[in-house]
A and B are shown apart, each in its own frame.
Chain A
């Protein structure tokens, strides 16, 4: 092994890979891994940009006063929006996270970078082919593609190709973990963030395989080799992929929360055991989540629904609630160590709110819990589901989880990836500072107003809530129209925040100042980030601020839960 100095940064070569030493974290970064991380992150952002524009068009169409697109285009664009953002943006970014959490955090080389590029190309091809299939028409089936509604074969094939590519990426992650362990590139157990990524990867294997199990026969059906796909069976298996994969997102964005806390504030987990057990709960109970989409279905017993929808007595929810305390708790502990020890909330008030990585992370944490989390449990309650099944409440809920939660967390993470992995200084830092707030406000708005419209009965995936062309007319209450207008305004805000994000990322990647030795970052890391030697759990600390926060959360949760039972008890009687 030889160490050379090429004037920019120190480079270490060994037989298998070339590394550089990160001046901010002291980590040894495999250059091949770094290139793949950049490629996957860029692809992710491109699909976010495409999908985000589509989301705006959908929202503006659903605002009755604007009603932007004609019906055919509305359904087509909605079919494209779902996959571009939920599958392509999120999964490309997650592959980048997996490479980061394995190779970079463990000071290891990435196994099989060539295979990594093959996987990348397969995923890109799948993503493009999906859009081509949808825009050709005749595949406007929504990205869930429930039979007996049938799309063109290319539609299914493109998703299968994308999934195979992602599966290869996940495989490289496991291989890298094994090599790191065998070569002893780290001491003791893997870091918590890598543990979270490992959780995500294990779940990803399960869901991607499930996806193949259902999409392959559906593809064969579309080319005429299979006579029939049972619609109920399809839903059961499809959602074993579709919903369980949301647990990948949660694991990944919780890992990002911990990573940002560590890098920006020097936060340590309160205790490794609790945080890791919480991740582990996801793995144990993920398969059951398919039930969330079958609550209002005929021919499935209540016993099955109750056990599965609650992830076996809410044990996966327990995992998220634990992170809901340990993440802010570790931040409070770190901030108190950093000297902000006055009163209950000085640690929070004096937090680096001007750093978009921190601001995005904390907003994501709060909104994921309050908006996405609470509404998810309510929606997933067997009887309460009948109040909102397939209404706009459903997209409202998951924009709370996957936009305000996951997407915002990934955006926040990107503000660290740009200087540390792209090695470019963020251009337009003033704009970047505002971005999490604008996007966060928009995301919160679309989530809550769609939930509001759904509570009042507005249907999801619906072009005309005036029912102009219906033989039997129906009039929604004025509240629905107000909600849809507010949703449209929030969508504009979210799209603006999204556009700023894309602009900053693309601008930085192309024109950002190259970071050389001794450069001082615009958005600095915690000094502790440099000292890799800091290990372990925190000592006993007082966390009054976090206790207040989780108490407010718990109260909101319980209240909202019972309000919905009250709504339910006012309905007509049925059994």
Chain B
């Protein structure tokens, strides 16, 4: 029994059931498959998290975002600037207590270099209802290439607990059709 000592002192030499061997083999192969599939997705998939990141002083990052917003602001929504950068430029988004700043207006099918970082605490970038979720740290500037594939208004919520205003932390990405493609 499992609560008593095995009969033979050297249990290593005991016989193994065939069904156990087969199952262990199946499980091993499945594990290997799943392992290599993650690697394969880097080649065949269109959704892989960028490894590009830099150390940054939070205040310096805030400054970069503000400069960016000033340069490309097109209008104002509920006191937050709406920023429409031309395709191809670097886009900056800031997480801070308690908002995602600024509102971005992007074009469908265009690729943007998106920079993500936080001013104070950790925040959780959560693009909804698409459901792309990325952790945001103060002091780390994360850079990725993002290509929206659908038109509409998308919410950004915060899904890393960031204090008492956590549930009020939102932002927005507006995706419009390519200019002239309408």
Decide if A383 touches B171 in the complex (CB within 8 Å): no
Q: Mark B93-127, 1 if CB is under 8 A from A, else 0.
A: 00000010001000000010000100011101011
List chain B residues, Cβ under 8 A from A536: 6-8, 14
Q: Is A183 an interface residue (CB 8 A)?
A: no
Decide if A318 touches B28 in the complex (CB within 8 Å): yes
Decide if A298 touches B53 in the complex (CB within 8 Å): yes
List chain A residues, Cβ under 8 A from B23: 321-322, 325, 550
List chain B residues, Cβ under 8 A from A461: 159-161, 166
Given contacts A142-B161, A469-B168, contact A386 B116 (CB under 8 A): no
List chain B residues, Cβ under 8 A from A72: 164
List chain A residues, Cβ under 8 A from B7: 188, 535-537
List chain A residues, Cβ under 8 A from B34: 310, 314, 377, 381, 561
Q: Which of A187, A274, A472, A569 contacts B5 (CB 8 A)?
A: A187
Decide if A296 touches B134 in the complex (CB within 8 Å): yes
List chain A residues, Cβ under 8 A from B48: 302, 383, 574-575
Q: Is B81 an interface residue (CB 8 A)?
A: no
Decide if A572 touches B149 in the complex (CB within 8 Å): yes
List chain B residues, Cβ under 8 A from A313: 31-32, 35
Q: Mark A541-563, 1 if CB is under 8 A from B, else 0.
A: 10100110010001001100100
Q: A17 vs B169: C-alpha distance in the bound complex, in angstroms?
A: 61
Number of interchain pairs (Cβ within 8 Å)? 329
- Best-buried of B6, B7, B8, B137 by chain A (most CB within 10 Å): B6
Q: Is A382 an interface residue (CB 8 A)?
A: yes
Q: Is B87 an interface residue (CB 8 A)?
A: no
Q: Mark B1-36, 1 if CB is under 8 A from A, else 0.
A: 111111111011011111110011011101110110
Q: A461 vs B131: C-alpha distance in the bound complex, in angstroms?
A: 16
Shortest CB distance B52–A (Å): 8
Q: Is B180 an interface residue (CB 8 A)?
A: no
Q: Is B181 an interface residue (CB 8 A)?
A: no
B143 and chain A: residue at smallest CB distance: A298
Q: Which of B16, B26, B111, B131 contacts A274 (CB 8 A)?
A: B16
List chain A residues, Cβ under 8 A from B8: 188, 536
Interface size class of A (residues with CB under 8 A): 35 or more
Q: Which of A457, A472, A541 contacts B172 (CB 8 A)?
A: A472
A228 and chain B: residue at smallest CB distance: B139
Given contacts A262-B2, A302-B42, A573-B46, contact A476 B129 (CB under 8 A): yes
List chain B residues, Cβ under 8 A from A529: 1, 3
Interface pick from A34-42, A157-165, A348-356, A388-396: A388-396
Q: Which of A268, A310, A456 contacts B38 (CB 8 A)?
A: A310
Q: A474 vs B137: C-alpha distance in the bound complex, in angstroms?
A: 23
Decide if B11 touches A315 in the complex (CB within 8 Å): no
Q: Which of A193, A306, A386, A547 contacts B133 (CB 8 A)?
A: A386
- Best-buried of A258, A457, A546 by chain B (most CB within 10 Å): A457
Given contacts A230-B139, A550-B23, A574-B144, contact A301 B47 (CB under 8 A): no
**Extra pairs beyond A188-B9, A325-B20, A574-B48 (10, CB < 8 Å):** A188-B6, A391-B131, A456-B129, A470-B169, A471-B99, A476-B129, A550-B23, A572-B132, A574-B50, A575-B48
Instruction: Give 10 A-B contacts (CB < 8 Å), ordered by A residue.
Output: A71-B167, A146-B122, A273-B16, A317-B31, A321-B24, A322-B23, A389-B124, A391-B133, A461-B160, A535-B7
Q: Which A residues are closer than 8 A to B by beta carbons?
A: 25, 71-72, 75, 105, 140, 142, 146, 148-149, 186-193, 230-232, 258-259, 261-263, 266-276, 295-302, 306, 310, 313-315, 317-318, 321-322, 325-326, 329-330, 377, 381-383, 386-391, 455-457, 459-465, 467, 469-477, 528-529, 532, 534-538, 540-541, 543, 546-547, 550, 554, 557-558, 561, 565, 567-569, 571-575
